A and B are shown apart, each in its own frame.
Chain A
Amino acid sequence: MRIRLDPWPVDTFEGQLTLKPFAGLVFDVETDRWAAVPTRGIPGSLREVVVVDGKPRMEARLLMDDEAGELHLAAFGAYVVGAVSLCPHGTRQAELQGVRARRVLAYSADVPLEPTRLSPLNPHTGVLDYEPHAFRGRQVEGPRGQVQRLMLDDEHALSQHYASAMPQEEGETDALPETLVLQDGPVRLGRGGSAVVGYVKTLHTDYLGADRIGLLSELRCGERTPILRFRVGDRGGQVSDAEGREQRFTWYVRLCDAPFYQHPLAGIMRLEMHAPEDSAFVPRAVQSVADLSGALLHRLGSKLHKDARAPQNLIPTAALEHAMSRSMGSLELVTRRIRAHLVGQGVLA
């Protein structure tokens, strides 16, 4: 019997142990030969890499009785999106960009609410402005979903703001973007055409199948698999119009050589980019991004003694998460402020 260590900390949901097979179709687009592709290094024309991430937080759940005696749900929440801009060649210091918390009063659409400002006792500590956002329905998870949705939208907008445009036509030769955006998680639904790469740290879906997944454990540091294409939400069989219209390119990269005692997928990351509709080719720019991804991510990968989720939790991401948590302020202090506010309003009286 061979015993190996799951790379993720035990409090991570599911860990790296389970892989659910992808039900839909996956196509070879780059090459038919299923073998490791070596890294090509980072070309000088890539000037900037922007790592984008976001973080939601629920701060207080509210229950409201209307005059008819009906219960409604609402919540004070906050989210923050931000970016780290860095030079992939290390010629300047990395900078945090636009890390700013936004506060949301999410409420069920059937009760109108005013914007809420929570003023502090000490003038130096700032005010908390909660902007009301209504969500449809009255489900319990509604407020949380609303905050999450707003965050994802902002994250997407931020990615689009930074990323260079990327031509996706066949035959483009020199199409490497100047600014590449790395976004935590899969790329969002929406239009392609900009240099945004989504990176998936934890692998839960197996896009490769039993006969191909072996290559992942054979990848060496910085190497990648050939690029594949799949359709989002493809559950096999007939694809409905409502879902699964969007196509994605995907490939896997190994960030570091995993120690022998770890799970074979330790240090593997899946990358994803938008793909043009029904394309049988890989745009030159996507291929260039895939080629440099091994070297880039190897550089950005963190070390185990500094981050339990190393190497996939990239150094800039970890810093960004830290900055984002800080920008939302202490949860304890915020709930105290909320409590004081409600007392002041007589709501709790």
Chain B
Amino acid sequence: MVLGTEDATPVAFWFSVLPGASVQMDDLVAVRTRKPDGSAVQFYGIVDHVRTRHEGVSFDSDVQDVVAGLLPASVSYAARVLVTRVDPEDFIPPQPGDEVRHATGESLRLALSADKMDYAFAGGLLADGQVLPVNYQFVNGESGGHINISGISGVATKTSYALFLLHSIFRGGVLNTRGEGHNTRALIFNVKGEDLLFLDQPNRRVADKEGTVQGRKGWAQGRYARLGLPVEPFRDVQFLAPPRPGAGAIVPDVEQRAAGVVPFVFTLREFAAGRMLPYVFSDAAASLNLGFVIGNVEEKLARLAGSDTTPYLTVEDWQPEQDVLLDENVRFDELGKTRLETFSQLIAYLEFKLLDQNDGEGDPKWVLKQNQGTLRAFIRRLRGVQKHLSPLVRGDLSPQQAQGYRPDLLRKGIQTTVVDIHKLGAHAQGFVVGVLLRELFEHKEKYGRQDTIFVVLDELNKYAPREGSSPIKDVLLDIAERGRSLGIILIGAQQTASEVERRIVSNAAIRVVGRLDLAEAERPEYRFLPQSFRSRAGILQPGTMLVSQPDVPNPVLVNYPFPAWATRKDEVDDLGGRAAQDVAEDWLR
């Protein structure tokens, strides 16, 4: 019953829990009150605070007398409710004494505004095992878009939740009801370990883990069944990884996964023609002059690329110092020209043009009166990323190879693309993310919104920091601000939202918070969490998230099941569900 000793308002009220009943935080409740004219007003809300205390005693030490059986006292068990919905929208307060009921079934739907959602998918399970619906139209860009996930690494399991959401979107039926199942895709950047390279493999621990949870909760159904999701790994996945450094065969630079990973490269010509140079520099804005040099060189390279299609570039005015044997397949029109076939040759050429030509004056058209210091800084930065980009940007391929290893994010029949960049250095990671996202963005700008692409990117603070600007950040800002109308949806994650560009975080319609550092939780970026949730964010367990969505004014705590896909090599169920001994016997036969 609604308490009369605390203020009851249309947005928050306390209620007392009768003996024998129990209420926990995050339970959803409903209250019905009557106006003087007899019409009813329903309040729906979420319990954000529960407490017990001895009633009728005045001293803290009275508890000893109560326990000793001398002092009669009753335990007052009360809970605070943050109202999520008032229906109809008559903002009168509930009356003390009004009965508070647990919201289930239809009233749960109303409490979570599920009736306002035309298309919803499961965002996890509430504390009592009911499903949290998330409005798909606030995810795919129709009414709003983007998802932002914050939390401490390791315990907040941001990537796991992002993958769970994808799984729920892809396999939960919302796409089928919309008839979009075939052309909704995901692009996932793998930035840590090789965790995401096994998304297409079943997880051998899932049955065990989920069974334990089911047993502990005493449910008849497992969590996947409650969510209406299959216990299956991702389907139609392609894995892309940069090639292993060094000359020779192009093999993906991954350790754990032997097959199924496709290396990807860019040709030097694409690098020049596609104006990828700026993405090498994450701090182009550090000085105005450097930005100017980059812009100029970018322009020159684009011109150099011309309209030819060979993977390499040719230049006339430069001979590398080493003797180059005349290549067998040299083309007639290239006689007297030098091929640039590697990234380091390109740098050497740029160094020549900017610093060495004309007895150290550089080519005036390239230098454009910039001082030597800036030019040297430019070259130094290029040298810094040379090691990582050399295997990735190359001209020593045949056109067929170049075609075959070109990253095709929109390949037919592929639903999920995982791009592994965890082995690259920070600048090279930025380069890959920037280039791929820009390409995607430009493709979408050209062809418009035909389908939805979810881009999963962890460590947003690295790519789009609050301070400074960079081409990668510009791409991400573009996606955040215009991407939703084009069907590019950013599922971004970071440890601390306070360090990410504000416009990216504030553009996310769905915000999710896992375990947070308590000092971080008090920053203004988390003001969407009520105070009690902010303090609770410090103690959230892995597998538990606070989800805030536009339809429900208060965040809701959910948990989500253990991944059905392997997240490590040792989780891969390579026995196909059979006992190890049976498989071994097959081998021995």
Residues of chain B lying within 8 A (CB to CB) of residue A87:
69
A180 to chain B, nearest CB (A): 15
Complex contact A320–B72 (CB within 8 A): yes
A-B contact pairs, 12 of them (CB 8 A): A86-B69, A92-B69, A93-B66, A94-B73, A96-B72, A124-B4, A299-B70, A306-B59, A306-B61, A306-B62, A316-B71, A320-B72
B68 at the interface (CB under 8 A from A): yes
Contacts A93-B66, A306-B59, A306-B62; A319 near B72 (Cβ below 8 A): yes
A315 engages B65 (CB within 8 Å): yes
Report, nearest first, the 9 A-B pairs whose CB atoms are least far apart.
A124-B97, A94-B72, A90-B69, A96-B72, A315-B70, A90-B68, A84-B72, A315-B71, A319-B72
- Assess A94 versus B70: contact at CB under 8 Å? Given A306-B59, A319-B56: yes
Q: Is the interface of A mostly helix, strand, loop or mixed?
A: mixed
- Bitwise interface map of A from 76 to 89 toward B, beta carbon under 8 Å scored 1, else 0: 00000000101101
Q: A124-B95, A306-B59, A306-B62 are in contact. Are A316 and B68 (CB under 8 A)?
A: no
What residue in chain A is nearest B57 (Cβ atoms)? A319
Summed over the interface, the residue pairs from A and B with CB atoms below 8 Å come to a total of 51
Chain B binding surface, main DSSP class:
loop
Q: How close is B229's CB to chain A, nearest CB, in angstroms?
A: 46
| Closest residue on chain A to residue B68 by CB atoms | A90
Cβ of A188 to closest chain B Cβ, rounded Å = 23
Q: Report if B96 contacts A (CB, 8 A).
A: yes
Q: Is the pair B70, A86 in contact by a Cβ cutoff of 8 Å?
A: yes
Let me know if B69 and A93 touch, CB within 8 A: yes
B72 in contact with A300 (CB, 8 Å): no
Interface residues in B349-376 (C-beta closer than 8 Å to A): none
Residue of B56, B65, B69, B96 ringed by the most chain A CB atoms within 10 A: B69
Contact in complex: A316, B97 (CB < 8 Å): no
- Complexed CA–CA distance, A323 and B73 (Å): 10
B70-A90 in contact (CB<8A): yes
Least CB separation from A323: chain B residue: B56
Q: Mark B508-526, 1 if CB is under 8 A from A, else 0.
A: 0000000000000000000
Q: Is the CB of B72 within 8 A of A93?
A: yes
CB neighbours (8 Å) of A299 from chain B are 70
Bound CA–CA A223/B72 (angstroms): 27
Nearest neighbor of B62 in chain A, beta-carbon distance: A306
CB-nearest residue of chain A to B58: A306
Query: What is the 8 Å Cβ interface bit string for chain A, positions 274-309, against chain B (1 contact, 0 not)?
Result: 000000000000000000000000011000001000
Chain B residue at minimum C-beta to C-beta distance from A85: B72
Name the CB-closest residue of A to B98.
A124
CB distance from A210 to the nearest CB of B (A): 37
The interface centre, meaning the residue of B69, B72, B97 with most chain A CB atoms within 10 A of its CB, is B72
- Complex interface bits, B58-85 against A, C-beta within 8 A gives 1, otherwise 0: 1101100111111111000000000000
In the complex the two chains form, is A300's CB within 8 Å of B70's CB? yes
A322 closest partner in B (C-beta): B56
Chain B residues closer than 8 Å to A90, beta-carbon distance? 68-70
A162 to B68, CA, bound (A): 22
**Distance in Å: Cβ of B386 to nearest Cβ of chain A:** 77
Residue-wise interface mask of A (300-340) relative to B, using a CB-CB cutoff of 8 A (1 in contact, 0 not): 10000010000000011001101100100000000000000
Contact residue among B61, B67, B71, B95 (Cβ-Cβ distance under 8 Å from A319): B71
Of B57, B59, B72, B96, which one neighbours A95 at CB under 8 angstroms?
B72
Known: A96-B72, A320-B72, A322-B56. 15 other contacts (CB 8 A): A86-B70, A87-B69, A89-B69, A93-B69, A94-B69, A95-B72, A124-B4, A124-B95, A124-B96, A299-B70, A316-B71, A316-B72, A319-B57, A319-B71, A323-B56
B409-426 contact mask (Cβ, 8 Å, vs A): 1 or 0: 000000000000000000
List residues of chain B with CB within 8 A of the CB of A300: 70
Kindly state whether residue A345 has any CB partner on chain B within 8 Å.
Answer: no
Residues of A within 8 A of B73 (CB): 93-94, 319
Q: Within B27-70, which residues are at the interface with A (CB < 8 Å)?
A: 56-59, 61-62, 65-70
In the complex, the chain A residue whose C-beta lies closest to that of B4 is: A124
Q: What's the Cα separation between A124 and B96 when bound, in Å?
A: 8
Closest residue to A124 on the B side, CB-wise? B97
Task: Identify the closest chain A residue to B75 (Cβ).
Answer: A93
**CB of A240 closer than 8 Å to a CB of B:** no
A62 CB, nearest partner CB in chain B, Å: 30
The distance from the CB of B60 to the nearest CB of chain A, in whole angstroms, is 11
